[in-house]
Structure 1
Amino acid sequence: MTTFDQDMLALEVNDLHVDVLTGIYSEETHLAQPLRISVRAMLAVQDHYDPDTPLTVSKNYMDLKHAATTGLPEGRHFTLIEAVADHIIDTVFMQDAKVRHVQVKIVKLALSERGEEIGITLSRWRK
């Protein structure tokens, strides 16, 4: 586990709109629902980043986008959006051993009546 006194690098991809089969009610289980997904991955910081530092010492943030979009299994129904977040987190951890922590925020857009954000945030440290 990482302590809070370590420097960390946060890579973020925010506000991706993704249609996902999710829900517990009968009217939800056969139609994809619009979700707004944000992913944050924490990596240990290098001592210094020179102008010619290669990408291999960091992480490509497009991998985060992939985990929340094309990395979700097509046609798979997730009863809970917590399971969607867990799948994204597992994918990001599998992509790169340098990732120490992942946080996923999911907002169920169909539930919003007046612009409020209704959803979850799931956060996990690498074990």
Structure 2
Amino acid sequence: MDFPKDDYLTLEVDDLDFDVLTGIYSEETHLPQPLRISVRALLSMADRYDPATPLSASKNYMDLKHAATTALPKGQHFTLIEAVAEHIIETVLMQDAKVRHVQVKIVKLALSERGESIGITMGRWRK
């Protein structure tokens, strides 16, 4: 990812394990699959952060967790994990105008045979 030349703040939530209905094969389409989801949000930074700076100058980390878990529609089947990432990205971008970029990494845990991470990373800049 190319970072802008001005100051920035990145909020991160890594390695959330969450079951999501996803997949293209018949054995995948009826049961939720375990995914490991990480979310990064690049924010416009305040001029300064001192001990009394309010949360409104940043963003609540729990918003990222919510976007990657409870904000995913229950019972919705996502054919591709790219669509899961897209939903998470759009949710985070809609939450706060300070968010300039969102990156989502999804690992399909059921595909790992020897501990390898198989999945995608998707990022989108605010337009």
Give the TM interval when normalised to the shorter protein: over 0.9
Q: CA deviation at 1:93?
A: 0.6
The equivalent of 2:71 in structure 1 is 71
Q: CA deviation at 1:80?
A: 0.2
- Residue 122 to residue 3, structure 1, CA distance change in 2 (3 Å): closer
- Which aligned segments of 4 or more residues in structure 1 are displaced greater than 3 angstroms? none
For residues 41 and 55 of structure 1, the distance between their equivalents in structure 2, rounded to whole angstroms, comes to 15
- SS of residue matched to 1:106: strand
- SS of residue matched to 1:87: helix
Is structure 2 residue 12 aligned with structure 1 residue 6?
A: no
For residues 106 and 3 of structure 2, the distance between their equivalents in structure 1, rounded to whole angstroms, comes to 26
For residues 55 and 92 of structure 1, the distance between their equivalents in structure 2, rounded to whole angstroms, comes to 16
Q: CA deviation at 1:7?
A: 1.2
The equivalent of 1:83 in structure 2 is 83
Q: CA deviation at 1:13?
A: 0.4
User: Normalised by the size of structure 2, how large is the TM-score?
Assistant: 0.97
User: Normalised by the size of structure 1, how large is the TM-score?
Assistant: 0.97
The equivalent of 1:47 in structure 2 is 47
Structure 2's unaligned 5+ residue stretches are none
For the aligned residues, what is the CA RMSD? 1.1
For residues 6 and 124 of structure 1, the distance between their equivalents in structure 2, rounded to whole angstroms, comes to 18
Aligned residues: 126
Aligned-partner residue type, residue 92 of structure 2: V
- SS of residue matched to 2:23: coil
For residues 97 and 45 of structure 1, the distance between their equivalents in structure 2, rounded to whole angstroms, comes to 12
For residues 6 and 20 of structure 1, the distance between their equivalents in structure 2, rounded to whole angstroms, comes to 37
For residues 98 and 123 of structure 1, the distance between their equivalents in structure 2, rounded to whole angstroms, comes to 16
Is structure 2 residue 108 aligned with structure 1 residue 116?
A: no
Q: CA deviation at 1:3?
A: 6.4
